[in-house]
Amino acid sequence: MLPRGGTVLVTGGLGGLGRTVAEHLVAAHGARLLIVGRTPASQLPDGSREALEILATVGEVRYRAADVADPDALAREVTEAERAWGRGLDLVLHLAGTPVAPQWERLSEHELRTESAGWLSRMLRPKAGGCAAVDRLLAARPGTAVVLFSSVNGLFGGTGFGAYAAANAVLDGWAQRWAATGRRAQSLAWSMWDGPGMNQGSPLVAAARHRGLALIDPARGTVALLGALHAGVVHLLIGADPENEQIKPFLAADQLRGGTIAVAVVPGPGEDPQRVRSAVAARLAGEGIFARVAVTSRIERDRSGAPDAAAVLAAIGSGGGGYTAPEGPVEELVAGAAVDVLAVPRIGREDSFFSLGCDSVRALQLAEALSERLGARVTVGSLYESPTVRALAATIAAPV
């Protein structure tokens, strides 16, 4: 991704994570850096100024004050740097972000429904605005790779971090979009870094660790970064424990709940819908695409013959290929419990619990309700492994 002596734009490169990453790029790869932040060089706080001085003694590093969301300013600085380097831009590392510390003590004000327009815009500016400006840069630089520093909040959401989660989800979307055009693009969704950075001193670290989010020390973070760059996966979660009970629902193989991409598949004649869905989901997940995969009986098309996205979404939103009634006493029992716990009017045999609002708490309630009704233990894990009425019923051997 980065040849020796390659050129890199690092937005937010004097922030906590940016310094570590910049240091590694310069020292280990001989990279030439253009670092961008809003603070004028003469007003940099001591830590950032010292970091810049150290970087400049190790390699070729220039710092320019510019708002990453200002496309003209960003283009100007990059063009000037390219002239000085005598080489085009190899890589954009986009780290610029608004610190979350001010919201730690007032989390309830930062759910999406309580979020202020002002704070939402502050959060979106460096990430959404920054990506739009980077997109303008990339348009004229087809060979330039781009790596975005995102957060697990982009996929998992996060009570009290509504705007921050939205801003990071935007990054994840841009990476998918650039990658879809054949560009080398990645969005790395980190849990929390230890040491300098926007999570330093966070009172929420212990709670986050309990929820399966690791605290990453800078040395391990750098190694993880190198591994991620090497792997080239478009959207990568780093520091989230996939075995944690609170994280599992988001990663259930056939139903990535945090997904913003919906994929509709039509099984061939005689094919098992559940197997088709699992296979498609596994393939997409392998490519780093977080999508909600649904089976449907047909893809509606518009007059021109193109897929009718609205009609397809409406169909899969209501349970894919239409409602199929549960069959036999075990499926009926499973469906009945799911209807009660999930408070939905009905559930078909191929509907996934997780596409009908089953979260970690409801998964626990559903497992308990089923255990009680069946007189045999049904684990939460089995819901994730067999997330439909039909699949779960097939795994239940207890007499009804």
- Residues that bind ligand NAP in the complex, under the rule CB under 6 A: 11-12, 14-18, 36-39, 67-69, 95-99, 125-126, 149, 151, 190, 192-193, 197-199
**In the bound complex, what is the minimum distance in angstroms from residue 215's beta carbon to ligand NAP?**
8
Please state, in angstroms and rounded to a whole number, the distance separating the CA atoms of residues 335 and 392.
10
Whichever of 80 and 327 has its CB closer to ligand NAP, that residue is 80
Whichever of 171 and 342 has its CB closer to ligand NAP, that residue is 171
**In the bound complex, what is the minimum distance in angstroms from residue 285's beta carbon to ligand NAP?**
21
Whichever of 223 and 325 has its CB closer to ligand NAP, that residue is 223
**In the bound complex, what is the minimum distance in angstroms from residue 208's beta carbon to ligand NAP?**
10
Q: What is the DSSP letter of 92?
A: E
Whichever of 144 and 151 has its CB closer to ligand NAP, that residue is 151
**In the bound complex, what is the minimum distance in angstroms from residue 224's beta carbon to ligand NAP?**
12
- For residue 236, what are the β-bridge partners? 188
Please state, in angstroms and rounded to a whole number, the distance separating the CA atoms of residues 44 and 41.
5
Buried b (16+ CB within 10 A) or exposed e, 32-44: bbbbbbeeeeeeb
Whichever of 176 and 255 has its CB closer to ligand NAP, that residue is 176
**In the bound complex, what is the minimum distance in angstroms from residue 127's beta carbon to ligand NAP?**
7
Whichever of 17 and 383 has its CB closer to ligand NAP, that residue is 17
Whichever of 90 and 172 has its CB closer to ligand NAP, that residue is 172
**In the bound complex, what is the minimum distance in angstroms from residue 364's beta carbon to ligand NAP?**
28
Please state, in angstroms and rounded to a whole number, the distance separating the CA atoms of residues 73 and 166.
25
Whichever of 170 and 289 has its CB closer to ligand NAP, that residue is 170
Longest Cα pair distance anywhere in the chain, in angstroms? 76
**In the bound complex, what is the minimum distance in angstroms from residue 71's beta carbon to ligand NAP?**
12
Please state, in angstroms and rounded to a whole number, the distance separating the CA atoms of residues 247 and 191.
12
Whichever of 94 and 349 has its CB closer to ligand NAP, that residue is 94
- For residue 187, what are the β-bridge partners? 148, 235
Q: What is the DSSP letter of 376?
A: S
The residue number with the shortest CB distance to ligand NAP is 15
Please state, in angstroms and rounded to a whole number, the distance separating the CA atoms of residues 127 and 146.
13
Cβ neighbours of residue 332 closer than 8 Å, sequence gap 6 or more: 326
**In the bound complex, what is the minimum distance in angstroms from residue 265's beta carbon to ligand NAP?**
33
55 touches 2 (CB < 8 A): no
List the beta strands (DSSP E) in 311-391. none
**In the bound complex, what is the minimum distance in angstroms from residue 248's beta carbon to ligand NAP?**
21
Cβ neighbours of residue 102 closer than 8 Å, sequence gap 6 or more: none
Angle between helices 162-180 and 117-124 (to 10 degrees): 40
Q: By C-alpha distance, which of 25, 146, 132, 170 is closest to 90?
A: 146
Q: How many CB atoms lie within 10 A of CB 399?
A: 9
CA atoms within 13 A on the CB side of 240: 21
